[in-house]
Amino acid sequence: MRNRALRAAVLALILSLAVSAVGSQERDPVKIGLIFTNTGPLAQLGIDMRDGNLLYWSQVGGRAGARRVELLTESTGSNKPDEGLTKARKLVERDHVQILTGVLETPVAYALAPYVNDRKIPLMINIAGADGLSQKQRSEYVFRSSFSNSQASHPLGEWAYRQGYRKMVLLASDFAAGHEHIGGVARTFVAAGGQIIQEIYPLLGASDFAPYLAQIRRDADVVAVAIFGADALRVVAQYAEFGLKGKIPLIGKGGLTDESFLDKMGDAALGIVVAFNWSAALETPDNRRFRDAFESKYRRPASLTAEAGYVREHQGQRREPRRVPGCAPRGRGRRAPGKGEARRFPQPAPDRLHPQDRAKGQHAAQHPDRDLPEHEPVLDLDSRGIHGHAVLCRAEGQMDQVTASLSTMARWAIVRP
């Protein structure tokens, strides 16, 4: 009996030592490679995205549960696809990261998709809203915490028509993201009965927008804009200086009045209506906590790209997706909405502006026979309640306009059920 008790005690001691040894041998950290932009017209947006990532990991002590997380960063000086691809290869093949994240520019996202598919490396995009990556080029290795470029464009085009606008001028940066953002606006505006009377495409990083603003037809009812970063700061200021403010309404995608630049725009930003999936003025507990934490740590306003970086990191820790109330579950065979639920219906496929159309003065939205697939939702997650409902499901396309004021310098474009 004594021998049996002794053997049990020895076994218990061995097991406890084994467990202690296993616990003391911490596993290797998970390596995440973050690609961001820190020069050029989109630099501040890229820096904010990076800092949103860093903020989250600082709040959780650089750990995902019991596992350490090591965040490696690589910056790009342009939106050139080959530069982004070079940085991704360095992170994966030399630094041996297990996950890629960040990515601000749409051209870079398109370039990375085939690479991560081939390497079977998850790509958690923070911002780059490349429409094709949630349509024909969608992949089980590519995820996104923000939007697809034309997602908030569709209700903006519909809203513009309901305001009584019938003649629209498009003004967008001449690269993939600008084309896709503005293409969605044009598609639903034209579908509602409106007319695109002019398309103007300034170069990304244009130092002077006067030559482009001088081309705007004065018989236009509204000018729709998809210009971002430092370019947005210049175009908003010059639009007012040119005497167009107050004569032809200016609407656009949310980056036009991004919080990173809104204070600097001053009165020139007043009256601009934009549509996007997030605003610093969104009053939810999660958004307030994020906004206060970011502004306290970095001493500057929280922006859309900062929020997207922060939310992405939290999404990476979610164990299972949750369905957003009022939205049909993703996948085939969606059920019909119940009583009182928002009706989820297919968004029109985003448009690309084809060179041959530009030469003819025609927009891709005027060619419904093109083979463009149904828009697919990008997100399966609820983004911690930080995002507005717009990014998660296309409810009834109802938009409220809230006028900006000098006291808060805030702007909203809210899609609600």
More confident residue, 204 or 335: 204
- Whether the pLDDT of residue 357 is over 90: the answer is no
* Residue 106 identity (one-letter amino acid): T
Cα–Cα–Cα angle for 314, 320, 321, rounded to 5 degrees: 80
Cα dist. 205→43, 129, 231, 233, 354 in Å?
A: 11, 19, 6, 11, 21
- The token pair at 280 is 């610093």
For position 313, what pLDDT does the model report? 56
3-state SS, residue 117: helix
- 306-347 confidence digits (pLDDT tens): 999 998 655 555 444 333 333 333 333 333 333 333 322 233
For position 20, what pLDDT does the model report? 43
**Domain 153-279+378-416 belongs in CATH node 3.40.50.2300:** yes
Q: What mean pLDDT is predicted for residues 348-370?
A: 36
Q: What mean pLDDT is predicted for residues 38-42?
A: 92
Q: Among the listed ranges 114-123, 197-206, 362-371, which one has the minimum average pLDDT value?
A: 362-371
Q: What mean pLDDT is predicted for residues 221-239?
A: 96
Q: Among the listed ranges 1-15, 50-64, 277-291, 379-393, which one has the minimum average pLDDT value?
A: 379-393
Q: What mean pLDDT is predicted for residues 163-178?
A: 96
pLDDT category of residue 403 using cuts at 50, 70 and 90: very low
- Whether the pLDDT of residue 284 is over 50: the answer is yes
- Whether the pLDDT of residue 398 is over 70: the answer is no
For position 393, what pLDDT does the model report? 26
Q: What mean pLDDT is predicted for residues 270-289?
A: 91
For position 53, what pLDDT does the model report? 95
For position 279, what pLDDT does the model report? 87
Q: What mean pLDDT is predicted for residues 211-220?
A: 97
More confident residue, 353 or 106: 106
Cα dist. 302→47, 60, 61, 243, 306 in Å?
A: 11, 19, 21, 31, 6
In angstroms, the CA 105 to CA 100 distance is 14
Closest among 133, 128, 132 to 145, alpha carbons compared: 128
- Whether the pLDDT of residue 225 is over 80: the answer is yes
In angstroms, the CA 87 to CA 33 distance is 9
Most confident of 78-82, 184-188, 368-372: 184-188
Judge if pTM exceeds 0.85: no
| Contact between residue 172 and residue 182 where contact means Cβ atoms under 8 Å apart | yes
- Whether the pLDDT of residue 47 is over 50: the answer is yes
3-state SS, residue 323: coil
More confident residue, 100 or 12: 100
pLDDT category of residue 252 using cuts at 50, 70 and 90: very high
For position 317, what pLDDT does the model report? 52
Closest among 156, 92, 104 to 130, alpha carbons compared: 104
Closest among 220, 299, 300, 307 to 264, alpha carbons compared: 300
pLDDT category of residue 136 using cuts at 50, 70 and 90: confident
More confident residue, 376 or 106: 106
- The token pair at 381 is 């997650």
| Contact between residue 139 and residue 113 where contact means Cβ atoms under 8 Å apart | yes
3-state SS, residue 134: helix
- Whether the pLDDT of residue 350 is over 50: the answer is no
More confident residue, 220 or 13: 220
For position 314, what pLDDT does the model report? 57
Residue 222: in which H helix or E strand, if any?
strand 222-226
3-state SS, residue 72: strand
For position 27, what pLDDT does the model report? 83
- The token pair at 320 is 């299972």
- Whether the pLDDT of residue 65 is over 90: the answer is no
Q: What mean pLDDT is predicted for residues 238-267?
A: 93
- Whether the pLDDT of residue 62 is over 50: the answer is yes
Length of the chain: 417
Q: Which residues of 244-256 are buried (b: 16+ CB within 10 A; e: fewer)?
A: bbeebbbbbbbbb
More confident residue, 381 or 271: 271
Domain definitions of the chain by residue range: 153-279+378-416
Greatest Cα pair distance, the chain, in angstroms, is 102
Q: Which residues contact 330 (CB under 8 A, 6 or more apart)?
A: 377, 380
What is the pairing mode between strands 142-144 and 412-416? unpaired
- Whether the pLDDT of residue 90 is over 50: the answer is yes
For position 384, what pLDDT does the model report? 28
